[in-house]
Amino acid sequence: MPARTRSPWRRRIVRTLQILIALGVLALGALVIAVYVTRSQLPSYEQLKSSPNGQMIRVRAADGSLLVSLGPSYGEWLPYNRIPQVMREATISVEDRRFRYHPGVDPIGLARAVKVRFERGRWVQGGSTITQQLARNVFLSSQKKFGRKFREWILALALERKFSKDQILELYLNKVYYGGGAYGIDAASRLFFGHSANRLNLSEAAIIAGLVKAPSNYSPTADAEAAQGRAGVVLQTMVETGAITPAQAAEADPDAIKLQPPPRQNSVRYFTDWALPQLDVLIDEQDAPLEVWTTLDPAMQRAADAAVRANTPAGVQGALVSLDRDGAVRAMVGGKDYVSSIYNRATQAQRQPGSAFKLFVYLAALEAGRKPEDSVVDEPVTINGWSPRNDSRRYSGPVSLRTAFAYSLNTIAAKLGQEVGFSTVADMARRFGITTPVNTQPSMVLGTSNVRLIDMTRAFASVAANGVAVVPYGITRVTADGQTIYRHEVDRDRVLVAPYVAAQMTDLLQTAVNAGTGREAQIGRPVAGKTGTTTSAKDGWFLGFSSGLTTGVWMGRDNNRPVAGLAGGRAPARTFRQFMTAAVAKRPIEQFQTEVTLPDWQLEPDEESYFGAPDNAVFVDDDGVPVTPQPGEGVTVGPELAPAPPPVGEDAPSEQRLDQDWIDRATGRDRPRREPPPPPQDDLPTQ
């Protein structure tokens, strides 16, 4: 009776086992078929050797010299018999100690990974063999999904069916990523130790073998101490697997290995970081190595870097952009040191431009019919409850637009903005390439909207181009496999303002440099430009052009804190002068369409001033700078003759206040000065 009751259960168990065995046989058959089908589709060994791991990009300067090589770096392909044994043994010990015995997938490793998964509640170990890693690196992504893992197993089994263990190890060691852009042991050895991988010793092999687990964490270029510590783990594992003896491990000293210092990143990377992302919209090529030819002039870049470093105050950042007449970026400095900060202040930072924004106010006024000689009264003004003042706290009465611009009078800018409409000024700024939001409050005429240096430089370049739009660009052409796949074409068809408006604006900009707030920017040839300083001296700007080259300079703190003594007419203007002196040295001198005209109070009243009795006129030199005649020059010298030459350097009073003193003393409107004078600032917007 009991036997009869157990019989159905036995039959069910047997039947279940039979079904499971049948399913297992079918699954095994399907697996074998999948493996052999995959094997038949695998590339040949030679094809696998030549297949790239990623896209390499070589960036060249305008003169063809190599600026930087980005993307994967490949060394010499080392055949199995040229790979040092210590390198092979170190890799097998730390990555796959049963490599010589499993069929491509390690059941013991898989079991251990599953055990750890249940113990910790998450996947910590993948149980991947060297063959699986090769399959993943060559054919798959690194996504942690079971479907991807199953395809990885199939590929690993297929690889083991098609290639020998030595071939698989050779492929792996020549293709695996070791960090720092280095693929393969030879590239890694040259990067980290400065020599070929066929000369690796035990300590060096241990360092390289330890990188595969986490290249970014253990890379010697990122953390030498971590890399050397990881090498100690590799040596201990080699002892455990019998690859080396304890004595050999003790003799090895990874800490004593002299690492190759990484190449010093310089300001060129600010330019390449800005230019190269544009490739995504310029070309479709994703695999072939690229040669990218750019606009950067190495000599100008060195001059720009030196000028920014030499003139930017301690604890302050500086940036510079220089554009050729067609928009080609010849130099770009995004900060004083790329290594300490990759933030590009030339293209990313948004800062208030101060009085440099008056470019758009005066452009709008000139387009509306105003002339540089037109007279406007410098007097107190209130617009919608806002009362701007000049930095000097004084008013000069009737002045020409040229004088108002040269001395950056805030009240005149406010009047012009109200006259043409603040929305018109904002539209002019956007027309000339300002891509950041521009407010239309009255104070906007003094540069209270944030802008980017490259956009402001572009605007000044468009004025220099007689009102034709200038668009900055950095890539001239791209080649792949020797074939040109992209070539830049300059568009000169977009006219922003009439040529006469641009010529009148250049007239004003010349005056600002020759006799106004931008005198420090003079370089011995025609220059047009404008200074800018924001409230509390948080930002200093100078932007100008000469001989077909337009350059913008900005200085300030990243945290937007004030900088004592910072003014656009000082350090930024001096940076412009130092850079431009070198940058245009080999270019022919170019005269502007309009000759420079000095402001009203810089002009001599008449020729008799040199021969008759002294009057209240200001004597000036060839550059328009006030001078005091010496005895014997045909005039009687007295203390009331003319103001003394202005002080220079960081101890000088603000440019606008200094100019106002000249104006007032030359016209007899001088008043007692306030003592002590306020902190030096030049053309500050006051709200």
C-alpha closest to that of 361 among 351, 376, 346 = 376
Residue 313's alpha-carbon distances to 107, 267, 540, in angstroms, are 64, 18, 11
| Cβ neighbours of 71 (radius 10 Å) | 16
Task: Provide the 3-class DSSP secondary structure of residue 311.
Answer: helix
CATH code for the part of the protein at 45-51+82-251 = 1.10.3810.10
Distance CA(232)–CA(551), nearest Å, equals 53
Q: Which residue has the tokens 């005429």?
A: 445
Q: Which residue has the tokens 């007419």?
A: 569
Q: Output the pLDDT for position 117.
A: 58
Residues in CB range of 200: below 8 A, 6 or more apart: 84, 86, 87, 185, 189, 193, 208
Q: What is the DSSP string of 103-168?
A: SSS-HHHHHHHHHHHHHHSS-------HHHHHHHHHH------HHHHHHHHHHHHHHHHHS-HHHH
Q: Where are the domains of the chain?
A: 45-51+82-251, 300-610
Q: Output the pLDDT for position 368.
A: 97
Residues in CB range of 579: below 8 A, 6 or more apart: 300, 303, 304, 307, 320, 322, 331, 551, 553
Task: Extract the runs of DSSP E, i.e. beta strands, from 25-90.
Answer: 57-60, 66-70, 73-74
Burial of 150 (0-12, 13-18, 19+ CB in 10 A): exposed
Let me know if domain 300-610 sits in CATH 3.40.710.10.
Answer: yes
Q: Output the pLDDT for position 676.
A: 34
Distance CA(246)–CA(176), nearest Å, equals 28
- 676: DSSP letter: S
Distance CA(402)–CA(600), nearest Å, equals 8
Q: What is the DSSP string of 269-286?
A: HHHHHHHGGGHHHH----
> And the tokens for 434?
């300002």
Distance CA(446)–CA(656), nearest Å, equals 14
Distance CA(303)–CA(308), nearest Å, equals 9
Q: Output the pLDDT for position 523.
A: 97
Q: Output the pLDDT for position 643.
A: 32
> And the tokens for 130?
């060297």
> And the tokens for 639?
């203390």
Q: Which residue has the tokens 């980005």?
A: 70
Q: Output the pLDDT for position 116.
A: 64
Amino acid symbol at 157: L
Sheet bearing 290-294, strands edge to edge: 66-70, 57-60, 290-294, 475-480, 483-487
Query: Do 354 and 533 touch, CB atoms closer than 8 A?
Result: yes
> Which residues is 318 bridged to in the sheet?
555
Q: Output the pLDDT for position 214.
A: 76
Query: Do 531 and 542 touch, CB atoms closer than 8 A?
Result: yes
| Cβ neighbours of 234 (radius 10 Å) | 27
Residues in CB range of 91: below 8 A, 6 or more apart: 130, 169, 172, 173, 209, 212
Q: Output the pLDDT for position 380.
A: 94
C-alpha closest to that of 176 among 58, 286, 72 = 72
- 381: DSSP letter: -
Residue 620's alpha-carbon distances to 593, 634, 646, in angstroms, are 24, 15, 12
Chain centroid to Cα 350, Å, comes to 14
φ/ψ (deg, to 5) at 622: -65, -25
Q: What is the DSSP string of 522-538?
A: --SS--EEEEEE-GGG-
Query: Do 495 and 463 touch, CB atoms closer than 8 A?
Result: no
| Cβ neighbours of 39 (radius 10 Å) | 17
> And the tokens for 256?
């004593």
Give pLDDT < 70 ranges for the chain. Answer: 1-6, 27-28, 30-31, 51-55, 113-127, 141-148, 216, 221-222, 261-265, 287, 598, 600-687
Chain centroid to Cα 406, Å, comes to 33
Distance CA(186)–CA(189), nearest Å, equals 5
C-alpha closest to that of 193 among 180, 174, 177 = 180
C-alpha closest to that of 42 among 154, 120, 119, 165 = 154
C-alpha closest to that of 532 among 521, 520, 523, 543 = 543
Query: Do 216 and 233 touch, CB atoms closer than 8 A?
Result: no
Query: Do 350 and 573 touch, CB atoms closer than 8 A?
Result: no
Amino acid symbol at 579: F
Whether the link from the prior residue into 107 is cis, omega within 30° of 0, is no
> And the tokens for 452?
């980017």
Instruction: Name the pTM for this structure.
Output: 0.66
Distance CA(397)–CA(411), nearest Å, equals 11
φ/ψ (deg, to 5) at 484: -75, 120
Longest pairwise C-alpha distance within the chain: 147
Query: Do 400 and 372 touch, CB atoms closer than 8 A?
Result: yes
